[in-house]
Chains A and B, each alone.
Chain A
Amino acid sequence: EIVMTQSPATLSASPGERATLFCRASQSITTNLAWYQQIPGQAPRLLIYGASTRATGIPARFSGGGSGTEFTLTISSLQSEDFAVYYCQQYNNWPPRTFGQGTKVEI
């Protein structure tokens, strides 16, 4: 089973600041990595797939990078609606489809 590890657990930032979230896989997953955003009380929303491709309708301030075992999600300028929990997920080697434990981006 591939273990996904996210850091930090919580990121405190102000609107307008840049935020970078990290995700590490326990073995290579090439670029088969997705990022999801979850606002409390809602279902997760796909942000990024293929490590760096934005999903339909996702603003350009969200960008993803990395390959192999190390990945990043960057929000270039935090907006009020971006304060949420972010999860990475690998879909390269499954089952199981594994998620990271999440990073909470808070004001």
Chain B
Amino acid sequence: QVHLVQSGAEVKEPGASLSVSCKTSGYTFTDYSIHWVRQAPGQGLEWMGWVSPHSGVTNYAQKFQGRVTMARDTSINTAYLELNSLSFDDSAVYFCARDRDISPFDYWGQGTLVTVS
């Protein structure tokens, strides 16, 4: 069965960087893209960008360009999110999710709570 398992909660100071991993299993890692979505407390879902595990190509939401990096390690079927220059507004739950071509997100990670304090 398909699983996306994310790293644990983090507490960061303003100006620091967050790093979240998303370890996948149960499917061919390079067949599906990995997207990152975040959710601030009490708010909706915000798409941050995606990475192609096959090629490593990335695309980031304009809001995060310049301070976000998404990457993958095909040897361990894991995707990564890094966000720099954190502010209090970056406190949120960060989710990874997979999709394939023009399709919805059919599997999600459990979420990683990041608190900027």
Chain A interface residues toward B at CB < 8 A: 32, 34, 36, 38, 42-46, 49, 55, 87, 89, 91-92, 95-102
Contacts and interface: CB of A to CB of B under 8 A. Distances in A.
B59 interface: yes
Interface stretch (B9-17, B84-92, B100-108): B100-108
Given A44-B108, A97-B35, A91 B102 contact: yes
Contacts, number: 57
Given A43-B109, A46-B105, 10 more contacts: A36-B104, A38-B45, A44-B45, A49-B103, A89-B45, A89-B104, A97-B35, A97-B50, A99-B45, A99-B47
Contacts of A101: 44
B82 interface: no
Interface in B29-66: 35, 44-47, 49-50, 59, 61-62
Given A43-B95, A49-B103, A99 B109 contact: no
B44 A44 contact: no
